[in-house]
């Protein structure tokens, strides 16, 4: 009986060794989500613009030099509208990030988010940065074309194993304007919004968009 117990304990320990890394996960929450893969690639002259499922291709310099792709943002259900960013510009669609529309376009602390964005780098080499930008077409903020470098995120895998997700919701849905305050993507229907993706040799990054249960995104 004692021998059987020892064997069972041994088997459980072995099983735990396999289960533990899975249980630790990749840092992302569980639940329903939309996945966007951002793939570094050479210019795809034969790739037509248009719907791209869950993938956007961005510029890649294999030597690690900086190359930039602007991922233009449209308001609507999650979808890739232009997957080929190797020509310098792609288009992604995502909902207005809150459950209500604030009339003044500034965050005052009472807003309720309707989804979260989590990001990670999957490739072991290289890195990329993402910065949320806007073009103040109707001069609401008096800033012209502006990229919020105070909230730039860096996508880079560190250590061994699977890349870990981090919460980048605020950085990719809001813009801090000096001397004015914090606004958010799609706050002004006349303005343009995009993510500036500066790639330094990263071949694969991934974003996940998690709907927050019990909420519904507002729309203009």
Distance separating alpha carbons of residues 61 and 75, to the nearest angstrom = 30
Q: Which of 12-16, 82-86, 88-92, 96-100 has the lowest mean pLDDT?
A: 12-16
Is residue 144 a part of any domain in this protein?
A: yes
Model confidence at 6, in pLDDT bands (50, 70, 90)?
very low
Which domain range does residue 189 map to? 29-211
pTM of the predicted model as reported, rounded to 2 decimal places: 0.86
Is residue 70 a part of any domain in this protein?
A: yes
Is residue 141 a part of any domain in this protein?
A: yes
Strands (E), the chain: 33-41, 55-59, 67-75, 79-82, 84-85, 89-94, 115-121, 127-135, 145-147, 153-155, 166-167, 174-177, 181-184, 192-200, 204-211
Q: What integer pLDDT is reported at residue 52 of this predicted model?
A: 64
Distance separating alpha carbons of residues 131 and 148, to the nearest angstrom = 6
Is residue 4 a part of any domain in this protein?
A: no
Q: Which helix (H) or strand (E) holds 15?
A: helix 2-24
On the CB side of 11, how many CA atoms lie within 13 Å of its CA?
A: 6
- Domain tally, the chain: 1
Q: What integer pLDDT is reported at residue 189 of this predicted model?
A: 92
Distance separating alpha carbons of residues 117 and 34, to the nearest angstrom = 10
Is residue 218 a part of any domain in this protein?
A: no
């Amino acid at each position: 009986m004692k021998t059987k117990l020892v064997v069972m304990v041994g088997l459980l320990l072995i099983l735990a060794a396999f289960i533990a890394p899975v249980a630790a996960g990749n840092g992302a929450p569980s639940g329903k989500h939309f996945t966007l893969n951002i793939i570094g690639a050479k210019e795809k002259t034969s790739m037509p613009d248009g719907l791209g499922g869950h993938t956007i291709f961005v510029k890649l310099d294999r030597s690690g030099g900086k190359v930039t792709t602007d991922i233009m943002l449209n308001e609507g259900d999650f979808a890739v509208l232009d997957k080929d960013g190797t020509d310098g510009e792609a288009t992604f669609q995502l909902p207005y990030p809150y459950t209500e529309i604030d009339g003044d376009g500034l965050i005052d602390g009472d807003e309720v988010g309707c989804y979260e964005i989590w990001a990670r780098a999957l490739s072991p080499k290289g890195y990329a940065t993402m910065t949320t930008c806007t073009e103040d077409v109707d001069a609401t903020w008096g800033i012209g074309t502006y990229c919020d470098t105070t909230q730039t995120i860096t996508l880079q895998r560190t250590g061994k194993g699977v890349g870990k997700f981090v919460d980048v919701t605020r950085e990719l849905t809001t813009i801090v304007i000096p001397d004015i305050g914090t606004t958010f993507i799609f706050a002004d229907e006349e303005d343009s919004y995009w993510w500036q993706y500066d790639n330094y040799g990263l071949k694969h990054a991934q974003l996940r968009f998690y709907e927050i249960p019990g909420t519904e995104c507002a729309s203009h």
